[in-house]
Structure 1
Amino acid sequence: MLAANRLAPVALALLIVLAGCGGAPGNGTATNDAAGTPTANGTATTTGDASGTVTPERASQDGAVAVENGTLRVNATRTFARVQSLMGTDVDPRPVELRNLSEWRSSLPRVAAAPINDALGFENVSANWSEPTGVTKFTGYVYVHPGEGSPQEVERVLAHEFTHSIQFQANMFPWLDELRTGRVTTDEAKTLRALQEGGAVYVTDAYTQQYLDVQRNSAFAREYMSKSPTHWSALAPYYFGSQYVASRIDSPQQLSNVYDNRPNTTEQILHNETRREEPPADLAVESTVSASQWQYLGNNTLGEMTTRGALGTELTQSRAAEAAAGWGRDEIAIFRHTGGDERYGWAWVHRWDDASEADEAASALRTFAERRNDASTYEFAVTRVSDGTTALVFGDDAFVANATVTGTTSNVSVAVGA
Structure 2
Amino acid sequence: MRPALPAVCCAILLVLAGCSVGYGGPDAEPAAPTPTSPTQTPTAVPTPTGSGTPTATASAPATATTSPTPTFPEPTATAIATPTPRDRQGSPDGSGVLDGLLDGDDEETIAVQGGELPLDPGLVYDRTTRLLGTDVPGPDTIQLLDTTANTTSPPEFQRLLGLERNVTEAEAIAFVVGPRTVYANRNLADRPAFLEHVLAHEFTHTVQFRRGYIGRVTAATGSDPDGRFTSTAVIEGAATYTEDRYWLAYVVDRAAPGERPARGVERRYRNSDGAARYSFAPYWFGYRYAAATVDSPAELPEVYADPPLTSEQVLHPGTDEGPVPLRVALRGETAGVWQETFAPPRGRIGEAFLRVALATELGDDRAARAAAGWGNDTRIAFNNETGARGYAWVLRFDDAANASEFDTAVTAYLSERTGDAPLADDRTGRQWTTTLDGRPVAYRLRRTDDRTAVLLLGTPAFVDADTTTVRGADGRVVIETDGEG
TM-score by length of 1: 0.82
Aligned to 1:285: 328
Which among 53, 75, 78 is matched to residue 123 of structure 2?
78
Aligned to 1:351: 396
Q: From the superposition, tell whether residues 265 and 100 of structure 1 become closer, same or farther in structure 2 (CA, over 3 Å).
A: same
Which among 188, 191, 215 is matched to residue 150 of structure 1?
191
DSSP-derived class of the 2:127 partner: helix
Aligned to 2:167: 125
Which among 13, 34, 41 is matched to residue 28 of structure 2?
13
CA contact (8 A) 2:217 2:231 kept: no
Higher relative contact order (CA 8 A, sep 6+): 2
Letter in 1 for 2:183: Y
TM-score by length of 2: 0.71
Which among 202, 215, 220 is matched to residue 161 of structure 1?
202
Q: From the superposition, tell whether residues 63 and 13 of structure 1 become closer, same or farther in structure 2 (CA, over 3 Å).
A: closer
Q: Distance in 2 between matches of 1:62 and 1:245?
A: 29
The Cα shift of 1:373 comes to 2.9
Q: Distance in 2 between matches of 1:177 and 1:367?
A: 36
Q: From the superposition, tell whether residues 327 and 91 of structure 1 become closer, same or farther in structure 2 (CA, over 3 Å).
A: same
Q: Distance in 2 between matches of 1:373 and 1:345?
A: 17
Letter in 1 for 2:457: F
Q: From the superposition, tell whether residues 406 and 39 of structure 1 become closer, same or farther in structure 2 (CA, over 3 Å).
A: farther
CA contact (8 A) 2:395 2:454 kept: yes
Identity of aligned residues (%): 31
Alignment of 1:261 with 2:300, yes or no, is: no
DSSP-derived class of the 2:377 partner: strand
Aligned to 1:360: 405
Number of residue pairs aligned between Structure 1 and Structure 2: 378
Q: From the superposition, tell whether residues 336 and 39 of structure 1 become closer, same or farther in structure 2 (CA, over 3 Å).
A: farther
Q: Distance in 2 between matches of 1:152 and 1:316?
A: 35
Which among 454, 463, 471 is matched to residue 400 of structure 1?
463
Alignment of 1:207 with 2:251, yes or no, is: no
Letter in 1 for 2:293: R
Q: Distance in 1 between matches of 2:32 and 2:281?
A: 12
Superposition pairs of residues 223-302 of structure 1, within 5 angstroms: 223-226=267-270, 227-275=272-320, 278-289=321-332, 292-297=336-341, 298-302=345-349
Letter in 1 for 2:347: N
CA contact (8 A) 2:232 2:282 kept: yes
| Greater shift in the superposed pair: 316-325 or 114-123 | 114-123
Aligned to 1:6: none
Aligned to 2:112: 67
CA contact (8 A) 1:122 1:229 kept: yes
The Cα shift of 1:246 comes to 1.1
Q: Distance in 1 between matches of 2:142 and 2:371?
A: 41
Which among 177, 181, 191 is matched to residue 230 of structure 2?
191
Superposition pairs of residues 106-117 of structure 1, within 5 angstroms: 106=150, 112-117=153-158
CA contact (8 A) 1:40 1:135 kept: no
Q: From the superposition, tell whether residues 318 and 84 of structure 1 become closer, same or farther in structure 2 (CA, over 3 Å).
A: same
Q: Distance in 1 between matches of 2:206 and 2:52?
A: 17
Q: Distance in 2 between matches of 1:191 and 1:112?
A: 22
Q: Distance in 1 between matches of 2:41 and 2:32?
A: 10
Alignment of 1:334 with 2:381, yes or no, is: yes
Alignment of 1:415 with 2:480, yes or no, is: yes
Aligned to 2:452: 389
Q: Distance in 2 between matches of 1:146 and 1:126?
A: 21
Q: Distance in 1 between matches of 2:448 and 2:266?
A: 36
Q: From the superposition, tell whether residues 249 and 410 of structure 1 become closer, same or farther in structure 2 (CA, over 3 Å).
A: farther
Q: Distance in 2 between matches of 1:202 and 1:285?
A: 39
Q: Distance in 2 between matches of 1:396 and 1:339?
A: 12
Q: Distance in 1 between matches of 2:163 and 2:331?
A: 29
Q: Distance in 2 between matches of 1:324 and 1:346?
A: 20
Which among 144, 163, 179 is matched to residue 98 of structure 1?
144
Q: From the superposition, tell whether residues 19 and 303 of structure 1 become closer, same or farther in structure 2 (CA, over 3 Å).
A: farther
Q: From the superposition, tell whether residues 207 and 16 of structure 1 become closer, same or farther in structure 2 (CA, over 3 Å).
A: farther
Deviation readout 1:293-351 (Å, 9 max, x if unpaired)? 422114110010011111112211111100000000011111123213xx211111111
Q: From the superposition, tell whether residues 144 and 196 of structure 1 become closer, same or farther in structure 2 (CA, over 3 Å).
A: same
Q: Distance in 2 between matches of 1:69 and 1:372?
A: 48
RMSD, aligned CA: 3.1
DSSP-derived class of the 2:214 partner: coil
The Cα shift of 1:233 comes to 1.0
Letter in 2 for 1:80: Y
Q: From the superposition, tell whether residues 162 and 307 of structure 1 become closer, same or farther in structure 2 (CA, over 3 Å).
A: same
The Cα shift of 1:408 comes to 5.1
Deviation readout 1:192-223 (Å, 9 max, x if unpaired)? 11000110011011100111122222211111
CA contact (8 A) 1:19 1:193 kept: no
Deviation readout 1:47-88 (Å, 9 max, x if unpaired)? xxxx9799xxxxxx9731111222222321111111011111
Q: Distance in 1 between matches of 2:289 and 2:480?
A: 39
Aligned to 1:4: none
CA contact (8 A) 2:336 2:481 kept: no
Aligned to 2:262: 218
CA contact (8 A) 2:237 2:290 kept: yes
The Cα shift of 1:388 comes to 0.5
Structure 1: runs of 5 or more not aligned:
1-8, 46-50, 55-60
